[in-house]
Chains A and B, each alone.
Chain A
C-alpha cells in the first residue's frame, strides 16, 4: 500500500506541505476520555444504572488499541475527573483506574502477541470487575445485585468493540496531517 502510493503519501494522506500537529496528537486521547467521563451530563436520565461506564471504557480502548500511548500513571488525573461526575464516592475511579492500568501492563507482559478476541476478552473482564467493584464501593451490595447490574454489564461488553472502533478513528484523526506553510 505504502509502496504503491509512493513516498508523497502515507496512511494519513499527502505529505507535501503537510505535517502532524503535535498539539492534536497530544490532546486527542486525553480529551476524548474526559469527554466520555462527562457522559452523565447527557440528557439520559435513568432510574436504574443502565448506561456503560463510558469514561472507563474509553480509557480501556485507548490502552488496548494503542498500547504505550497513555502513560501508566494516566489513571490518576483521568480518574479524578471521572469521579467529579460519576456519582461514585470520590476516589473510586482514581483507585480503580490506576489499578486497571497496572493490571493491563502485567497482562501485556504475559501475552505480548494479541488479537481482537483477546483484547475483547481482556476488556470484558476489566469492565465486569469494574462494574462489580464500583457497586461494592458505592455500598449497593445487598439489594438484588444481579438483576440490577446484568443489563448494564451485557450492554457494556457488547458495546466495547464499537468504542474500540471509535478510538481507532480518533487515532487516525490524531495523526492527521495539516497544511503547513514554509
Chain B
C-alpha cells in the first residue's frame, strides 16, 4: 500500500503551516493528558463530576443492554440446562447454591445474636435498602474493576453505600451522578473489605486481585485456621458494611490466608440492592470531616 501524500505539502505555505500546527497540537494534547493524569492519580475524586454527567447521558444505552443481557442469560441457561440434564437440574443447582449461602449467613446471624445478647440492651434495627437497581455495565477492558448502576443521587444513592445481590456483597458505590452511579467491585485491586468466618470469629481482610478472586489476609497471624470451602461474611468493622453479608468462599489456602472466590458473581447478577452506610457517624469520626468516602 502506497504511503499517503499528506506528509509532503510541497511549496504551499498554508499546507506547511497546518501540518506543523497539527504536530504542535498533538504534542500539546499529550502534555495536557499527562498533567490531567497526574492530577487524577493524586486526587482520584477530581473528575467524578464529569464522569457522573457522562454516564448519566449514556445510561439509556446501558439500560437497553441490561434487559438484553438478562433475556439472553435466561435463554442460554435454558439451553444449557437442556443439554446437561434438563432445565430442572440447572434450577436446582442454583437453589442449592443460594441455600448454602443462606445457611452460612444464618450461622453468621446466630453468632451475631449470641454476641449481641451479651451486650444487654443493645437493639439492632432491620436495615432498609435505599433502592433496587440494575448493573448496566462494567469496565471490562481495564484492570480496574468498576460497574455502572442505573440509579444515582436522585434515588438517594451516595458514595460509600454497600451494593449487594441475593448471593452476597457486590461492592460499594464510588461515585454517584444524578441518575447513574459507579460501583467499585470487590475484585478491584483497591477494594478492601473487613470479613470474618461465618461460623466463628476468624477475622481477615478481603483484598481484590483484579482477576475475579479475592486474597484473604488474616488479621491475627499464626497457624492458619482456614479450610477450603469456608464462607466469609462482612464483619462490620469500619462501619461501612453491616455485619453478616456473605462475601467469598475459600478456594485455596496459602501461608498467611487464602485465595477466595466471590460469591456474588456480578456477571450473573440481575438486580442489586443498595444499602445505606451501616454506621455513618462512626465513619465520620474515623475518617475526619475532610476525607471523602470515595477511595
Contacts and interface: CB of A to CB of B under 8 A. Distances in A.
8 contacts: A41-B62, A41-B136, A88-B144, A90-B40, A91-B34, A102-B26, A144-B211, A149-B143
A72 B69 CA distance: 38
B140 A46 contact: yes
Interface string B205-233: 00001111000000000000000000000
Contact of B269 (A45, A90, A93): A45
A139 B209 contact: no
Interface residues of B, number: 67
Given A84-B50, A87-B146, A90-B51, A49 B61 contact: no
B269 A147 contact: no
B146 to A, nearest CB: 4
Interface of B: 1-7, 22-23, 25-30, 32-41, 44, 46-47, 50-51, 54-55, 58, 61-62, 65-66, 68-69, 72, 135-148, 185, 187, 189-190, 209-212, 262, 265-267, 269
A-side interface size class: 35 or more
B140 A49 contact: yes
B140 A40 contact: yes
A53 B141 contact: yes
Contacts of A53: 141
B143 A47 contact: no
Contact of B143 (A39, A41, A114, A134): A134
A140 B144 contact: yes
B190 A139 contact: yes
A45 B142 contact: no
A102 B24 CA distance: 11
B33 A39 contact: no
Contacts of B138: 40, 44-46
Contacts of A25: none
